[in-house]
């Protein structure tokens, strides 16, 4: 029986067949599932954007703290009669850089983990099933690779292009320390 005739019969007699009820329930369930996926995707998108902003703010704060701490240490050490640089200056800067590096790695780790979750949601949304189809999907313009388990995801969070900033700061700190040790600066 065509759906037009079925609706006509239902309207005329005021009853619905069990088959029609099951079909409509399945459609409602799919609609609800898709809507929940859209809402969840929107919320995860906002969190990823916030984490991305936090990573940038962490880098700015790191540079501010390193410069401020070095100026403060230099000022305090010159007032106490110990003018000049001290190896503690370089160690202090290295510790601050390491602290902010680990903080940024943590934000990057969760950002990547959320992107992977978003990729799963998109795949399920497009496929309409609980099974993810093969291939890659770009989440927010960033391809998310299957990095395997927790260890490989942590490794990628520790070593990626975003962390070059800290490598550069650490290299500058080390280079100036080497110049200090070789007595080129004092």
- Which tens digits make up the pLDDT trace of 63-104? 999 988 888 877 776 665 555 677 888 888 899 999 999 999
> pLDDT, tens digit, for every residue of 17-66?
566 667 677 778 878 888 888 888 889 999 999 999 999 999 999 999 99
For residue 169, the model assigns a pLDDT of 94
| Coil/strand/helix, residue 134 | coil
Helix (H) or strand (E) holding 42: helix 18-79
Instruction: Return the sign of the alpha-carbon dihedral for residues 126, 131, 136, 137.
Output: positive
Q: How far apart are CA 92 and CA 96, in angstroms?
A: 6
CB atoms within 10 A of CB 153: 15
| SS3 call for 62 | helix
**pLDDT per residue over 99-139, tens digit each?**
999 999 999 999 988 988 888 888 877 776 544 445 555 55
C-alpha dist (Å) from residue 45 to 5, 58, 96, 106, 158: 45, 20, 30, 18, 22
Cα(63)–Cα(38) distance, rounded to whole angstroms? 38
Name the nearest CA neighbour of 90 among 30, 184, 179, 163: 179
Residues 60, 160 contacting (CB under 8 angstroms): no
pTM (global) more than 0.85 = no
Sign of the alpha-carbon dihedral angle for 79, 81, 86, 92? negative
Confidence of residue 15 (pLDDT cuts 50, 70, 90): low
Give the count of alpha carbons within 13 A of 35, CB side only: 6
């Amino acid at each position: 029986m065509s759906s037009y005739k079925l609706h006509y019969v239902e309207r005329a007699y005021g009853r619905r067949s069990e088959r029609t009820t099951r079909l409509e329930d399945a459609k409602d369930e799919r609609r609800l599932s898709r809507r929940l996926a859209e809402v969840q995707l929107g919320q995860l998108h906002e969190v990823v954007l916030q984490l991305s902003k936090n990573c940038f703010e962490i880098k700015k704060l790191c540079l501010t703290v390193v410069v401020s701490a070095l100026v403060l240490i230099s000022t305090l050490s010159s007032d106490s009669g110990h003018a000049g640089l001290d190896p503690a200056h370089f160690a202090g800067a290295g510790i601050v850089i390491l602290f902010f590096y680990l903080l940024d790695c943590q934000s990057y780790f969760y950002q990547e983990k959320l992107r992977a979750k978003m990729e799963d949601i998109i795949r399920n949304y497009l496929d309409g099933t609980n099974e993810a189809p093969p291939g890659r999907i770009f989440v927010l313009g960033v391809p998310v690779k299957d990095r395997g388990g927790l260890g490989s995801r942590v490794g990628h969070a520790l070593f990626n292009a975003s962390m070059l900033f800290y490598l550069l700061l650490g290299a500058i700190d080390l280079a100036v320390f080497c110049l200090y040790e070789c007595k080129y600066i004092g």
